[in-house]
C-alpha cells in the first residue's frame, strides 16, 4: 500500500484515537467489507487494505513509526464541512446558571468530488390496515403507495408490509422488474382487525434487513391512524436496534387518533421524525416529500458522541432541517440525514453552572460526529466537535449572530406549545391555558393569524374540558414545528 495512504482516514477515526477505538473501527469496517458479504468490484481489495491499516495502527511500535511519515492532515479532504455559531461571545462569571445556545450546521462538501450519484434505496412501507382505515382513507393510502412504487428506480429495492392484529408481507423486498404485477397486491389490501404496530414494524424491519447494504439508503416508512396498546416499549427497542444497523424509521399519523409522542420517540431513535397528516387527501404529498428527501440522501447515519464538562448540562437539542424535530439529550445523538443540497442544522441549549467557570476558557462539550456517506465504500473521517467559550467578568456588547436569533425566534413558538402540553399533563390547566394564549399573541405578531386562532380555540377547550382536543393538540404541535 502507498506510504502516503492515511490509515486513520481509511478506518474513519482521528489520529489520536485510543487502541479500543481503533479496534472498534476495524471491526465495523470488516463487517461492512468482508468478502462473504460483499462482492462489489474493489471491495475485496479494500478489505485487505483495512486489514493492513489495523495491523499497523494496533501495534504501538509500528504505529509510532508510521506516524513519523504520515502526511499532514488536510481538513478540506473531508466530504462534509461544519460551521458552529454561539449565542454569546463569552461566558460570564456569575452566581447563577446561564444558558448558551449553539447552532451547528453540517453540509456535504461538493468540492471534494466525493459525492457520486444518489445511492440506491431499500424502502419498506409499513401500512396500517386496521378497521379504522376503511373506505376512502384506505383507498387514498393504496393509491399513494402505488405512486411511490412507480417512482422507484431500477436499482431500488421496495417492499410493502401491512399490519393490524397480525402482519402480512404484501410485497417482499424486490426490484421493480414488473411494476404492474407488484401493484396488484397493493390494490387488494382490505382493512380488518385492530392496530398492533410492533408486529408490522418487525415485519418491515425484517424485509429491509433482507436487502440491507451500507451503500443503500435503508428505511422504513410507517403510516398509521391509531394507537397501539402494550407494545410501545418493544417498538422503541426495535427502533434502537434499527439505528445500530443503519435502518431509518419515519412515521406518519393520519387524523387525530394516533399517539404523536410515541411516534416521535420511535422515529427520533433513528434520527428521523413523525409527520401529521390532517386529511387522507394529503397522504400522497407527504409520501412524495419523503421520497424526494430519501432520493437526495448523502448520509443518513450521522451520530454525535460527546462528553460534557463537569457542571454543564445539555438541556435541549432540536434539529432545524432537513426534518424539523426534537433530538435526544442523553447518550449517542442520532442527528438525522444530510441531503445533497440541504444543510443538517441543529440548535443546542447548554446550561452552565457557576462551578464550571474556574478557568479562563471552558470546553463545554467535546466529542465527534460520525458520518456514514452512502457513496463511499469506507468510513468518512469523523468531525471533531469541541464547543468552548472564554470566561470573563462581563457579558460584553456583542449581539447574537443573526442566524441564531432567527432560529431561536421560530423555535420559541414550538417550545411554548411544548410547555403548555407539559403543564396540562401535570394538571396545571390554568397555567397551560395562559401559555396557549401567550403563544397565540406571539403567533399573531408574527403574522400567523390562522394558527393563532386555532391556538385560542384550543385554549378555550382546555379551560373548559381540562384536556387538549386530540386534533387541536396535533395541529398546534406540527404547525409550530413547520414554522421552523
Q: Which of 19-23, 128-132, 142-146, 453-457 has the lowest mean pLDDT?
A: 19-23
The Cβ of residue 23 has, within 10 Å, a number of other Cβ atoms equal to 15
**pLDDT confidence of residue 13:** 83
Same domain, 323 and 367: yes
Number of domains in the chain: 4
> Grid coordinates in use for 120?
440506491
Distances (CA, A) of 279 to 38, 252, 297: 44, 12, 28
Question: What is the band of 270 on the pLDDT scale with cuts at 50, 70, 90?
Answer: very high
Interstrand relation of 217-224 and 167-174 (parallel, antiparallel or unpaired): unpaired
Q: Which of 51-65, 401-415, 468-482 has the lowest mean pLDDT?
A: 51-65
Which of 239, 265, 295 is where one domain is finished?
295
Same domain, 477 and 407: yes
Which of 295, 310, 327 is where one domain is finished?
295
Of the chain, the percentage scoring pLDDT greater than 70 comes to 92
Same domain, 141 and 217: yes
52 is a domain residue:
yes
Same domain, 245 and 177: yes
Same domain, 173 and 319: no
Which one is predicted more confidently, 372 or 40? 372
Same domain, 307 and 356: yes
The mean pLDDT value for 317-326 works out to: 94
280 is a domain residue:
yes
Same domain, 230 and 337: no
2 is a domain residue:
no
Give the Cα-Cα-Cα angle 455, 456, 458 (nearest 5 degrees): 65
Which of 73, 95, 130 is where one domain is finished?
73
CATH number at residue 302: 2.60.40.3670
The mean pLDDT value for 460-471 works out to: 96
Q: Tell me what the pLDDT averaged over the chain comes to.
A: 89
Closest CA to 334 of 393, 405, 418, 247: 247
Closest CA to 246 of 290, 212, 278: 212
Question: What is the band of 76 on the pLDDT scale with cuts at 50, 70, 90?
Answer: very low
Q: Which of 130-134, 165-169, 210-214 has the lowest mean pLDDT?
A: 210-214
Residue 59 belongs to domain spanning: 7-73
Distance CA 171, CA 443 (A): 45
**pLDDT confidence of residue 116:** 54
Give the per-residue SS3 of 28-83.
Answer: HHHHHHCCCCCCCCCHHHHHHHHHHHHHHHCCHHHHHHHHHCCCCCCHHHCCEEEE
| pLDDT surpasses 80 at 32 | no
Same domain, 80 and 190: no
| pLDDT surpasses 50 at 264 | yes
Question: What is the band of 291 on the pLDDT scale with cuts at 50, 70, 90?
Answer: very high
Residues β-bridged to residue 303: 334, 370
Same domain, 382 and 313: yes
Distance CA 454, CA 433 (A): 13
CATH number at residue 156: 3.40.50.410
- Label residue 273 exposed, middle or buried (CB < 10 Å: 0-12, 13-18, 19+): buried
The mean pLDDT value for 218-233 works out to: 95
| pLDDT surpasses 80 at 44 | no
251 is a domain residue:
yes
Segment 343-388, tens digit of pLDDT: 999 999 999 999 999 999 999 999 988 887 765 555 567 888 999 9
* Residue 121 three-state SS: strand
The mean pLDDT value for 133-147 works out to: 94
Segment 87-105, tens digit of pLDDT: 999 999 999 999 999 999 9
Question: What is the band of 4 on the pLDDT scale with cuts at 50, 70, 90?
Answer: low
1 is a domain residue:
no
Same domain, 290 and 303: no
97 is a domain residue:
yes
**pLDDT confidence of residue 28:** 78
227 is a domain residue:
yes
Which one is predicted more confidently, 114 or 269? 269
Same domain, 289 and 233: yes
223 is a domain residue:
yes
Residue 336 backbone class (left: φ over 0; alpha: ψ -120 to 50; beta: rest): left
CATH number at residue 27: 1.10.287.110
Same domain, 35 and 58: yes
**pLDDT confidence of residue 311:** 96
The mean pLDDT value for 13-41 works out to: 74
Which one is predicted more confidently, 249 or 329? 249
Amino acid at each position: 500500500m502507498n506510504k502516503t495512504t492515511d490509515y486513520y482516514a481509511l478506518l474513519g477515526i482521528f489520529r489520536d484515537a485510543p487502541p479500543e477505538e481503533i479496534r472498534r473501527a476495524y471491526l465495523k469496517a470488516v463487517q461492512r467489507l468482508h468478502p462473504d458479504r460483499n462482492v462489489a468490484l474493489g471491495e475485496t481489495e479494500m478489505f485487505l487494505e483495512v486489514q493492513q491499516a489495523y495491523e499497523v495502527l494496533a501495534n504501538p511500535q509500528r504505529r509510532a513509526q508510521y506516524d513519523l511519515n504520515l502526511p499532514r492532515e488536510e481538513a478540506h479532504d473531508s466530504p462534509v464541512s461544519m460551521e458552529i455559531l454561539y449565542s454569546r461571545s463569552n461566558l460570564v462569571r456569575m452566581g447563577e446558571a446561564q444558558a448558551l445556545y449553539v447552532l451547528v450546521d453540517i453540509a456535504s462538501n461538493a468540492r471534494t468530488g466525493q459525492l457520486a450519484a444518489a445511492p440506491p434505496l431499500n424502502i419498506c412501507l409499513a401500512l396500517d390496515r386496521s378497521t379504522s382505515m376503511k373506505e376512502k382513507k384506505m383507498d387514498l393510502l393504496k393509491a399513494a403507495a402505488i405512486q411511490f412504487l412507480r417512482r422507484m428506480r431500477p436499482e431500488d429495492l421496495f417492499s410493502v408490509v401491512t399490519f393490524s392484529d397480525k402482519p402480512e408481507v404484501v410485497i417482499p423486498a424486490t426490484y421493480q422488474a414488473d411494476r404492474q404485477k407488484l401493484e396488484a397486491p397493493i390494490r387488494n389490501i382490505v382493512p380488518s382487525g385492530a392496530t398492533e404496530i410492533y408486529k408490522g414494524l418487525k415485519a418491515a424491519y425484517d424485509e429491509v434487513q433482507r436487502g440491507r447494504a451500507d451503500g443503500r439508503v435503508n428505511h422504513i416508512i410507517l403510516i398509521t391512524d391509531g394507537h397501539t396498546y402494550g407494545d410501545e416499549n418493544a417498538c422503541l427497542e426495535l427502533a434502537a436496534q434499527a439505528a445500530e444497523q443503519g435502518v431509518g424509521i419515519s412515521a406518519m399519523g393520519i387524523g387525530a387518533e394516533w399517539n404523536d409522542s410515541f411516534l416521535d420517540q420511535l422515529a427520533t431513535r433513528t434520527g428521523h421524525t413523525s409527520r401529521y397528516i390532517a386529511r387522507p387527501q394529503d397522504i400522497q404529498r407527504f409520501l412524495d416529500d419523503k421520497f424526494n428527501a430519501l432520493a437526495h440522501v448523502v448520509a443518513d447515519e450521522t451520530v454525535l458522541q460527546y462528553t460534557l464538562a463537569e457542571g454543564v448540562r445539555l438541556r435541549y437539542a432540536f434539529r432545524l432541517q432537513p426534518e424539523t424535530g426534537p433530538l435526544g439529550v442523553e447518550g449517542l445523538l442520532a442527528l438525522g440525514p444530510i441531503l445533497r443540497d440541504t444543510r443538517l442544522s441543529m440548535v443546542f441549549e447548554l446550561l452552565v453552572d457557576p462551578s464550571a467557570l474556574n478557568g479562563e476558557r471552558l470546553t463545554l462539550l467535546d466529542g465527534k460526529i460520525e458520518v456514514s456517506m452512502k457513496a463511499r465504500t469506507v468510513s468518512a473521517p469523523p468531525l471533531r466537535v469541541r464547543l468552548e467559550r472564554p470566561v470573563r467578568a462581563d457579558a460584553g456588547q456583542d449581539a447574537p449572530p443573526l442566524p441564531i436569533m432567527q432560529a431561536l425566534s421560530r423555535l420559541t413558538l414550538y417550545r411554548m406549545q411544548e410547555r403548555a402540553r407539559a403543564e396540562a399533563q401535570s394538571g396545571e390547566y390554568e397555567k397551560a391555558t395562559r401559555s396557549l394564549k401567550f403563544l397565540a399573541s406571539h403567533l399573531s405578531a408574527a403574522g400567523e393569524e390562522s394558527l393563532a386562532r386555532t391556538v385560542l380555540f384550543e385554549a378555550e377547550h382546555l379551560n373548559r374540558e381540562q384536556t387538549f382536543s386530540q386534533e387541536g393538540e396535533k395541529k398546534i404541535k406540527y404547525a409550530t414545528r413547520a414554522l421552523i
